[in-house]
């Protein structure tokens, strides 16, 4: 049981950083999946095809984000039992998590493929890109089981402190994705649906490798096929912690769909330009997400082991690192955005839109980083309803209200871009007050 103990003892900063680096690299390659799709589609198939891929992004995250939030809850439960050395409940949590992933993947496949056309129409997707958007969306969700199971098994490994093996498997599958994208789109010219197919095949490869790792493991978290089933008491814990995270992801996605619907009104070039920026922004967010995920595992394990002072010090260190790195990346994006955008689509209108959005948002990444880190800490402490309500208020209600009202009077796309810095700042203020004044650490100790 050597793995994961570096989060429970020794240098706090070394433990968090050594766990975060593989997460960063893993998220980097994860981001490559959709980015490669857009990069190759934009260069080989043109702006309309790129817009079709981009218009599906918010809708994909709406459905995927909910189940990934539940997977986060499972990770918290597993890390808690791992830290407490409660191996009987640890085994039950692992097998319940796998059973949930199988059921959720099949459910998501049906929902995504069935509802795709109608939701894309409701979003006001431009008619010229609607057929390709539907094809991309349906093909992507045909592989739902693969990417849900990858997130489930990857989450199990990360919850017990193993962030390296998911990284190795992700590197392999990312290479597969690039090769298949070039073959399907660049050589065979099979269209945007083949880009989604390449992603699904690649994610299936990484999911299988992670799952085999768990099955062949000699550790207490080994997955045994005949033991995969739901344990009701454990499932209630996973749902109790994961449901708020899942709802939070869905709430943010609903807000983003409203944003995308407003962007769609500005035409195909605006859709393509904002889609390009979102891919670049995904890379910029990597330091944010890796530290937030690290803090969830670190806090969960240390509170499970009753190391409360260590949990608090780790929280402060993780926040400081994430905020600093996020702002440095923001400065780079601010100045280099025209060159980054042109790599996807050199059309002047597309580059201009992406540049305008980056110049509005990039210097405010520190607020996004702070909000995500506090949310990660709260999840690790078992208080996942806190970030859900904060983000419901700031990232959904306020964001949608601001866009709906302001765009009506000032019909400019920059108005939409300002919704993000505004709501990131509001959530940061709320989270700061809660973090400093709430009794989140001691309430866990009393439990």
Domain ranges of the chain: 9-440
Instruction: Give CA–CA dist 344/43, Å, rounded.
Output: 6
Q: Is the pTM of this model over 0.75?
A: no
Per-residue confidence in pLDDT tens, the chain, 447 aa: 444 456 777 888 888 888 788 878 777 777 766 677 777 877 777 777 777 676 666 667 766 777 777 887 788 889 888 888 899 999 999 999 999 999 988 988 888 888 878 877 876 777 777 888 888 888 888 888 888 898 898 889 888 878 788 888 888 888 898 899 889 988 888 888 888 898 889 889 988 998 999 999 988 889 999 999 999 999 998 888 888 878 777 777 777 778 888 888 898 899 889 988 988 898 888 888 888 888 888 888 888 788 888 888 888 899 999 999 999 999 999 999 999 999 888 889 999 999 999 999 999 999 999 999 998 888 888 787 888 889 889 988 999 999 999 998 999 999 999 999 999 999 999 999 888 876 655 554 544
Judged by DSSP in three states, 13 sits in helix
């Amino acid at each position: 049981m050597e793995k994961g103990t570096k989060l429970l003892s020794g240098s706090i900063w070394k433990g968090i950083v050594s766990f975060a680096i593989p997460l960063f690299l893993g998220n980097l390659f994860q981001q490559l999946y959709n980015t490669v799709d857009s990069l190759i589609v934009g260069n080989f198939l043109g702006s309309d095809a790129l817009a079709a891929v981009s218009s599906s992004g918010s809708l994909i995250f709406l459905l995927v984000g909910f189940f990934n939030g539940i997977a986060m809850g499972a990770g918290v439960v597993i890390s808690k039992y791992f830290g407490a050395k409660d191996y009987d409940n640890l085994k039950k949590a692992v097998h319940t998590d796998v059973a949930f992933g199988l059921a959720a993947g099949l459910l998501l496949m049906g929902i995504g493929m069935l509802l795709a056309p109608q939701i894309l129409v409701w979003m006001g997707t431009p008619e010229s890109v609607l057929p390709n958007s539907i094809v991309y969306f349906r093909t992507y969700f045909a592989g739902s089981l693969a990417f849900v199971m990858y997130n489930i098994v990857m989450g199990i490994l990360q919850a017990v402190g193993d962030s390296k093996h998911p990284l190795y498997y992700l590197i392999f599958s990312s290479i597969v994705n690039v090769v298949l994208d070039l073959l399907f789109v660049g050589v065979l010219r099979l269209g945007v649906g083949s880009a989604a197919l390449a992603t699904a095949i690649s994610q299936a490869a990484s999911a299988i490798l992670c799952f085999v790792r768990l099955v062949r493991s000699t550790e207490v978290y080994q997955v045994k096929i005949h033991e995969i089933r739901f344990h009701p008491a454990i499932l209630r814990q996973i749902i109790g912690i994961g449901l708020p995270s899942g709802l939070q992801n869905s709430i943010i996605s609903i807000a983003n769909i409203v944003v995308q619907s407003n962007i769609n009104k500005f035409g195909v070039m605006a859709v393509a330009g904002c889609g390009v920026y979102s891919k670049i922004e995904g890379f910029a967010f990597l330091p944010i997400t890796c530290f937030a995920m690290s803090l969830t595992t670190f806090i969960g394990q240390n509170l499970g082991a009753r190391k409360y002072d260590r949990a608090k010090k780790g929280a402060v260190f993780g926040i400081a690192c994430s905020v600093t790195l996020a702002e440095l990346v923001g400065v780079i994006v601010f100045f280099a955005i025209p060159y980054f955008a042109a790599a996807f689509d050199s059309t002047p209108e597309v580059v201009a839109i992406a540049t305008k959005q980056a110049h509005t948002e990039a210097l405010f990444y520190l607020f996004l980083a702070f909000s995500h880190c506090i949310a990660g800490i709260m999840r690790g402490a078992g208080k996942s309803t806190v970030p859900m309500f904060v983000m419901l208020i700031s990232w959904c209600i306020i964001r949608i209200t601001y866009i709906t009202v302001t765009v009506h009077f000032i019909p400019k796309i920059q108005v939409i871009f300002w919704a993000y810095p505004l709501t990131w700042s509001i959530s940061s203020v709320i989270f700061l007050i809660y973090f400093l004044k709430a009794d989140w650490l001691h309430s866990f100790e009393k439990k």
